[in-house]
Amino acid sequence: MIARTAPFPRRFARAFSALAYCAFALRAFAADEVRADLTFKLPPGQVAKYRWTTFSNTESSGREKDQVFTLKKDLSLEMDLVLKGLARKTPGLPLSVKAEKYGYSEKTSIGSDVGEIVAMKGKFKVTHSGKVIVDSDNDVGLEEIKNLQQGLKQIEAGEMVVTLDPAGKEIGEAEGDETAIDVIKGSGAEGLFRLLAGRELKPGDSWEDSQTLPNMATFKLAKPAVIRSKSTFVGWETKDGKRLARIDVASTWDTSDLKGENGEGLLVEITRVEGKGAGRCYFDPALSRVVDGELSVNSKYRIDGKKDGQSTGLDVVGKTVFSFKEIP
């Protein structure tokens, strides 16, 4: 005799089906949650503002015109970077980029010879070997103060217009005020757009990018240096009550020898190039843009050149830290 299988109670069947559906829905929801569309977006008329800072220090030791010396330079730069989405006329993401509240300080020393410039938060001061040349608080060097003020106004009045592809790379050339373009790109802030993959990824996924460096120190390069980077979507973290995607970045400089020229016509060869960077940033999927980050770069290279029968040889070691944070 064949035993009959007891019928599965209909109410249990309905409950089992409901549980199975819930489990499937939760799995699908979880899969959607761990992935992120790492694409920068800014609709027309919408504004995003970042506080951008750059800190760098370099030490150059060697000889110039047969004189042995060590030159140290510390630079601090701060500005508010204002991005505004523009109406789309061609493929890509068009943006207006402006530098507001721009300021910087620079200290250069060769032995006991020390020069310092401060042009930040409405104050201007220039000293050389202890002598005050410009001081806005005490009406010293009034004509120079006017020149400094005019220069900062020109920077803040200017605008750079760029069109970006999904990965943040420029389509065509930047347009706008030449001074504003030089300041924004020279500060490293241009790299803010290139931190994202421009597509949907899951934690653990990586992508690569490369950028060119047209100048090194005060020298314009005959052929730009190349900086290669690898970024990884590490995973999700909660900061200030927001669920953010963390992205880690590592970069290296190509070690090929370079040639350059400064404003005085000195031709040099730049060799033994070493450069490495590391950092991280956070992406808010609700806003479709990065909200804060920091990148530190260590570099080392050798400069050799000749002019008017005199030779120059320098070993340069430097460190630069770029950081940004979205502000209201």
Alpha carbon distance, N-terminus to C-terminus of the chain:
80
Answer with the residue of higher pLDDT: 13 or 142.
142
Under 8 Å CB-to-CB from 192, ≥6 apart: which residues? 50, 52, 81, 290, 324
Reply yes or no on whether the pLDDT at 232 is more than 70.
yes
Sequence letter at residue 266 = L
Percent of the chain with pLDDT over 70: 89
Question: For residue 26, is it within any domain?
Answer: no
Residue 142 — very low, low, confident or very high, per pLDDT cuts 50/70/90? confident
Q: What confidence category does residue 48 fall into, taking pLDDT thresholds of 50, 70 and 90?
A: very high
Query: d(Cα 328, Cα 48) in Å, to the nearest integer?
Result: 8
- pLDDT for 299-320, tens place per residue? 999 999 987 777 888 999 999 9
Residue 120 maps to a domain: yes
Report d(CA 201, CA 131) in Å as an integer. Answer: 57
Q: Hey, how many other C-beta atoms are within 10 angstroms of the C-beta on 193?
A: 21
What lies within 8 Å, CB to CB, of 301 at 6+ separation is 216, 270, 271, 272, 273, 274, 275, 316
Q: Which residues lie across from 134 on neighbouring strands? A: 126
What domain count does the chain have?
1
Q: Which of 271, 279, 264, 274 is nearest to 229 (CA)?
A: 279
Please give the distance of CA 71 from its chain centroid, rounded to a whole number. 26
pLDDT at 31 > cutoff 70: no
Parent domain of 105: 38-327
Does the residue 150 lie in any domain?
yes
Q: How confident is the model at residue 4 (pLDDT cuts 50, 70, 90)?
A: very low
Q: What is the mean pLDDT of the chain?
A: 88
Q: In the prediction, which pLDDT does 6 show?
A: 43
Q: What is the pLDDT of residue 65?
A: 67
Residue 29 within any structural domain of the chain: no
Residue 71: pLDDT above 90?
yes
Least confident of 2-11, 129-138, 157-166, 234-243: 2-11
Position 210 in a domain: yes
Q: 40-49, 167-176, 230-239, 255-264 — which is least confidently predicted?
A: 255-264
Which H/E stretch holds residue 236?
strand 219-239
| Rounded distance between C-alpha atoms, residue 289 and residue 32, angstroms | 18
135-153 mean pLDDT = 89
Instruction: State residue 20's pLDDT score.
Output: 46
CATH number of the domain where residue 111 is located = 2.30.230
Decide if pLDDT at 33 tops 80.
no
Q: Is residue 93 part of a domain?
A: yes
pLDDT confidence bin for 12, thresholds 50/70/90: very low
Output the pLDDT for position 111: 86
What pTM was estimated for this model as a whole? Answer: 0.85
Better pLDDT: 263 or 251:
251
33 belongs to a structural domain:
no
Is residue 13 scored above 90 in pLDDT?
no
